[in-house]
Amino acid sequence: MSATGTLGTLSFRALDPLQHAELLHSWVTHPKAAFWMMQNAKLQDVEREYMAIAASEHHHAYLGLHDGVPAFLMEKYDPRYIELVGLYEPEPGDVGMHFLVAPTDRPVHGFTRAVITAVMDELFADPRTRRVVVEPDVSNTAVHALNEAVGFVPAREIQKPEKRALLSFCTRERFFNRHSLATRGVSI
């Protein structure tokens, strides 16, 4: 699926862990990706991580393209089996999500918001997805603002092995209501 807007076309393709490992390594070890928690990862660590994701039936990684050029990463996972096991009570249709925008020397105003909107459109394109679940670091205020902008509602803080996280949810209805109002120029 792809979305075209004023910032160009955003699309997704399955990530090839070996082909894209070098590119991902440059993204996840960049200082702007500190919350990705792979700052000290070696190329082989990144290959290993994404090979494990590729082998999982409950976790999937996608390369996000901006006008055909790799520009972001999206992961979706089943929170019944990955990331949030035992930390909340999953509901039917829950899908977990992570996203990372590639570092750039020339940031484009509104690009990250366009990316998270495209990610949410992609996740909700599957009619089985009723709610998207995220668990960003509690101190990642920039992503909390983005999440709120597309319709996420914080539920509570949870303790994961690697971080203190803000468990948040966005229903299909809330996202499409927010997205519809925003495209009509209504402040949300």
Of the candidates 111, 150, 123, the residue with the CA atom closest to the CA atom of residue 9: 111
Query: Can you give the pLDDT at residue 106?
Result: 87
In a domain, 139, yes or no: yes
The domain in which residue 121 lies consists of 2-183
Q: For residue 7, what pLDDT is reported?
A: 81
- For residue range 127-149, what is the model confidence (pLDDT) as tens digits? 999 999 999 999 999 999 999 99
pTM for the whole structure? 0.91
**Number of domains present in the structure of the chain:** 1
Look-up of token digits 């004023």 = 6
pLDDT, residue 37, reads 87
Distance (Å, rounded) from C-alpha 155 to C-alpha 114? 24
With a cut of 50, list the residues of the chain below it in pLDDT: 181, 184-188
- Within-domain flag for 43: yes
Is 167 a domain residue?
Answer: yes
CATH of the domain at 66: 3.40.630.30
The per-residue pLDDT for range 20-36, each reduced to its tens digit, is 999 999 999 999 988 98
Pairing relationship of beta strands 153-159 and 131-134 according to DSSP bridges: unpaired
Q: What is the pLDDT of residue 8?
A: 86
Say what the pLDDT of residue 181 is.
45
Residue 188 inside a domain? The answer is no
Q: pLDDT at position 5, please?
A: 64
Radius of gyration of the chain (CA): 16
Question: Residue 108 falls within a domain, yes or no?
Answer: yes
Specify if 127 maps to a domain: yes
Does residue 175 fall inside a structural domain? yes
